[in-house]
Structure 1
Amino acid sequence: MNSDIRLALIYGSTREGRFCDVVADWAQRRVQRHGGYAVERIDPADWPLAGPLLRGDEARLQQLRQRLHGADAFLVVTPEYNHGYPAPLKALIDACYEPWRAKPVAFVSYGASSGGMRAVEQLRQVYGELHAVTLRDCVHLMHARRLFGADGELRDPQAAHEAMSVLLARLGWWSRALREARSVLPYEAAA
């Protein structure tokens, strides 16, 4: 089996002019620098789940399910909108129940003074209901637009880089442990 962890990097925002691209690009660079992960991006903007387009397109929905099933772990990059997480992210999560089970989910969040913490705390409840394992370790970027330069890099990166290193190390541990557990006994067979 390939030792690289198959990581789905999930965008949380679909807004026009979104800042999510900057944060997701930064997160992917940190993942690549850390090593040990094969990253696949999943952007809700590519899967219009709330509208009739995808709801009626079972083949396209099956493509999304396969991409999520293929992941060993998830890294959700989400903003906080009005003290919560964005609706397109919830639609993506709700579109497919089984792929999340017995897999770890980590978060990089951004927002104003909370850095997206309220969105993450709400998402923990959602993922818990889907039998996913959410990591305690997160990266929260307060006033993110001020933190990044025009080059897409953090102006003062030390704290965020350290937090991301811890997140990725622990995500790796959970990914390997749960991947092994699923190979020994599929989660659906446990109860």
Structure 2
Amino acid sequence: MKKLMIIILALLGLVACDKSSQSEEQITVNRDIPKDQAVITTVPAPEEDPFLASISVPNQIKSNEEFVIKATLKNLSDNDLTILHASGVFYLSIKDTNGKGVNTFVMAEVGKYHLIQGKGMITEQYVYKIEKPGVYEVSAIARFSNDEGDNKKDIEVETNKASFEVVLLNERDKG
């Protein structure tokens, strides 16, 4: 029995030595790659989500007057896709020149299913009013889930940033 154990341990030792020598060879090969040279991997790039989001706003707005911000989510694929989102798809952000947020809102987390046809789009409009003159920046993030059979995928698509200026409505507003 002792002889059998010695033989098994010897074989395990040989296998372990063989594996460590392979690791050493691999390390040696990796050391030979120059640091400034790109290493090409065989891992496929992650598949891009077939969506594009954009936002638009008028260039100039009068203080205390309502204006409309349009946010659009476009399905770039040819396939009809069903998404699940809150009461709205987009979460807006309006900031002043100092980066301070000027809008705050709470969106109901109601689950809504929405079909976006191939090459189709969803457009949401938001009405705002800003008192203080100045330059502002608006952007949004579309947040939704895409159900592809058993694969539920949470997706966020950021829009472009759009700038606009709020000017005084009339001389009385200076006060």
Question: Do both proteins adopt the same fold according to a TM-score greater than 0.5, normalized to the shorter chain?
Answer: no
The structure with the largest alpha-carbon Rg is: 2
**TM-score, normalised with respect to structure 2:** 0.23
Q: Indicate the structure with greater strand content.
A: 2
**TM-score, normalised with respect to structure 1:** 0.22
Q: Indicate the structure with greater helix content.
A: 1
Higher RCO structure (Cα 8 Å, ≥6 apart): 2
